[in-house]
Amino acid sequence: MLPTRTVYTVSDINRYIKTLITNDENLKFIYVKGEISNFKPGANGHLYFSLKDKDCLINVAMFNNYAKNIAFVPKNGDEVVILASADVYPARGTYQLLAFEMSQVGLGDILVELEKLKKQLQSEGLFEQSRKRPINIYPKAIGVITAKNSAAIKDILTNVKRRYPITDIYVFYSAVQGESAPKELLRAFEESQKYNLDTLIIGRGGGASEDLSAFNDEKLVRAIASSKMPVIAAVGHEIDSTLVDFVADKRASTPTGAAELAVVDRREIEQKFQYALDDMKTAIKDKLVDMKDSVSSLKEELDEEMLEYIKDKQRNLKNLKDRLEALSPLSVLDRGFSITEKENGELIKDVKDLQKDDKVITILKTGTIYSKVEKVEGNKK
């Protein structure tokens, strides 16, 4: 005979665990020390945050009837001691601390060390604006350092290919949080330096402030400061800033924003070409209009000059004609003189050219006389 099998619901399990934890005397009204992170005050006065130390983190809730008694304004980075009891939220199966009191100890050790490192790097000039290099938004190749199969790499690849599809993309995968993340990020960065890249993007999607600690690693920050190519930091957070953000040449609040900083949008290029084409068409049209006006003006000047030239030639021709007519033997006929020729048409210039009985022709204005020489007699001196 088979033993009876008991099937529990998820709610059964979560409620049972809640009973175990809340009834454990070792977890009731205990003092817990840690650094506040992920601080989120609720609209109804409740406080939600995490307490962390160097290695671990636990969620905390403090309801308004206890929160109103706090003597200071809590914020991320504060080191505090709370009086709390362990509890379980059955709907999600998560455990947390319910805080009743809170007192401030001082800034958390982690934040103090981070601020000290930040000031040291700043004093060395690693964050100086003068070190920042411009981003070539028309790159042949860009590199990306981020987690494999992450939303960040998908966003970057999608947006870069959409905006500027002709660029090559080299991806160097690395853990972005956890104990191994600093070493893996540094290894991925060193690998990227072997390639001829125009720009390097390093980052991750959004996360809690403690999840970003790998991007505050001193070795990684110093390596990025010596990068062969400009670096865009895209650690995916708005409020907190990591040291990688400060040393990078550009900072983007999201991976999508990094893609937009890294490459030009091809639609902008197309629009610029269209503007250039329109300007060229307008310039050519204006030039043609100017040329047409110039040709028309030149034609008018040429017509005027040709007309004046013809008139001048006509005047010269008339003058020549008048001179020829004045020199013509026929012109003397108009003045009452005559011309005498021999019968063969030879002009008689001297009486010596004639003899008695020669036939001559006398030309007058009104006609011609044919006669015979009776006598030839020269002028008396």
Average pLDDT over residues 59-63: 94
In CATH terms, is domain 113-128+138-264 a member of 3.30.470.20? no
CA distance 143 to 306: 73
b or e along 136-149 (b: 16 or more beta carbons within 10 Å of the residue's beta carbon)?
A: ebebeebbbbbbee
What integer pLDDT is reported at residue 120 of this predicted model? 94
First to last CA, the chain: 188
- Enumerate long-range contacts of 176-183, CB under 8 Å, 24 or more apart: 176/146, 176/147, 176/150, 176/152, 176/203, 176/204, 176/214, 176/215, 177/204, 177/207, 177/211, 177/212, 177/213, 177/214, 178/214, 181/214, 182/214, 182/217, 182/219, 182/220
Is residue 35 classed as helix, strand or coil in its secondary structure? Answer: strand
Judged by DSSP in three states, 115 sits in helix
Mean per-residue pLDDT, 224-252? 88
- Examine the pLDDT at 207 and tell me if it is beyond 80: no
Provide the CB-side half-sphere exposure for 214 (13 A, CA): 25
Higher-pLDDT residue of 257 and 357 is 257
Residue 260's beta-bridge partner residues?
A: none
What DSSP element (H or E) covers 286? Answer: helix 266-327
Least confident of 115-129, 173-187, 330-344: 330-344
Strand partners, 97: 60, 86
Q: Over 90: is that where the pLDDT of 272 sits? A: no
Q: What is the pLDDT of residue 378?
A: 77
Residue with the bigger pLDDT between 178 and 336: it is 178
Q: At 328, is the pLDDT very low, low, confident or very high (cuts 50, 70, 90)? A: low
Q: Which residues pair with 78 in a beta bridge?
A: 107
C-alpha closest to that of 140 among 162, 173, 165 = 165
Say whether pLDDT at 210 is over 70: no
Give the model's pLDDT for residue 167: 95
Q: What is the CATH number of domain 10-107?
A: 2.40.50.140
pLDDT on residue 372:
83
Highest mean pLDDT among 147-151, 247-251, 308-312: 247-251
Beta bridge partners, 299, equal none
Q: Kindly tell me the burial class for residue 95, based on how many C-beta atoms sit within 10 Å of its own C-beta (0-12, 13-18, 19 or more).
A: middle
Q: What is the CB-side half-sphere exposure of residue 311 using CA atoms within 13 A?
A: 6
Give the range among 43-52, 212-221, 234-243 with minimum mean pLDDT: 234-243
**What pLDDT is stored for residue 119 in this prediction?**
92
Q: What is the pLDDT of residue 289?
A: 85
Question: Are the beta carbons of 97 and 87 closer than 8 angstroms?
Answer: yes
Q: What pLDDT, on the 0 to 100 scale, is given for residue 317?
A: 87
20-24, 136-140, 168-172, 366-370 — which is least confidently predicted? 366-370
pLDDT band at 239 (very low <50, low <70, confident <90, very high): low
Mean pLDDT of 367-381: 79
Residue 332 has pLDDT above 60, yes or no: yes
Given this model, what pLDDT does residue 126 score? 94
Helix or strand (DSSP H, E) at 362: strand 359-363
pLDDT digits (tens, 9 = 90+) for 87-114: 998 888 889 999 999 988 865 677 778 8
Lowest average pLDDT, out of 8-12, 107-111, 118-122, 358-362, goes to 107-111
- Residue reference for tokens 């013509």: 328
Name the token pair of 112.
Answer: 């103090």
Residue 154 is encoded by which pair of tokens? Answer: 């998908």
Residue extents of the structural domains in the chain = 10-107, 113-128+138-264, 271-322, 331-372
Q: What are the pLDDT digits (tens) for 148-165?
A: 988 899 999 999 999 999
On the question of pLDDT at 54 being above 90, the answer is no
Question: φ, ψ for residue 89 (rounded to 5)?
Answer: -100, 100
Q: What is the pLDDT of residue 381?
A: 60
Helix axes 218-225, 181-192, angle to 10 degrees: 10
Mean pLDDT (the chain, rounded) = 87
% of the chain at pLDDT higher than 90: 43
Under the banding of pLDDT at 50, 70 and 90, the label for residue 209 is low
Segments in 43-180 forming alpha helices (H): 64-67, 109-123, 151-163
**Average pLDDT over every residue of 2-6:** 73
pLDDT digits (tens, 9 = 90+) for 159-198: 999 999 999 999 999 999 888 999 999 999 999 999 999 9
Q: How far apart are CA 1 and CA 3, in angstroms?
A: 7
